[in-house]
Amino acid sequence: MKINKIVASVLIAVFMSLAVGCGQPKSINGVEYDTYGFLNQDTKKNPNIKYEVSVGNVVWSVILFETIVAPVYFFCFSLYNPIAPNDNTFVPGKVVK
């Protein structure tokens, strides 16, 4: 029974890692914008771009909290993903093609 729980936990962790992506730079209007976190927001955050929290990085931070290095990196340098230009016509969830 104990081995079944361990196998189930590992499978859940694997599926969670496959279901969520980590922070990725994004090209918007021909310009590539990088992710940013709490320590580099002064140099990386662009006020003309909308950002959202990278769920993948939060999940990996929780999974790897014992390593200390991974959560520090994710929260301090790669927590927010660029998603779109910062305008009033942006609709969350809308796919722009």
- Lowest-pLDDT choice from 1-5, 21-25, 26-30, 93-97: 93-97
Q: Is residue 39 part of a domain?
A: yes
Q: Is residue 10 part of a domain?
A: no
- Average of per-residue pLDDT values in the chain: 83
Asked whether residue 14 is assigned to any structural domain, the reply reads: no
Q: Which domain holds residue 91?
A: 21-97
Evaluate whether residue 30 is within a structural domain. Answer: yes
How large is the average pLDDT for residues 86-91? 69
Q: What is the pLDDT of residue 35?
A: 93
Cα(56)–Cα(17) distance, rounded to whole angstroms? 7
Report how far residue 11's alpha carbon sits from residue 72's, in angstroms, rounded to the nearest whole number. 26
Any domain includes 97: yes
Instruction: Please give the model's pTM, rounded to 2 decimal places.
Output: 0.67
- For residue 21, name the pLDDT band (cuts at 50, 70, 90): low
Helix axes 69-77, 55-63, angle to 10 degrees: 160
Q: Which pair of tokens denotes residue 8?
A: 């189930």
Q: How many distinct structural domains can be found in the chain?
A: 1
Nearest 5°: the CA angle 59, 32, 85 is 80
pLDDT over 80 at 50, yes or no:
yes
Residues 6+ apart with CB under 8 A from 48: 85, 86
Q: What is the mean pLDDT of residues 32-51?
A: 92
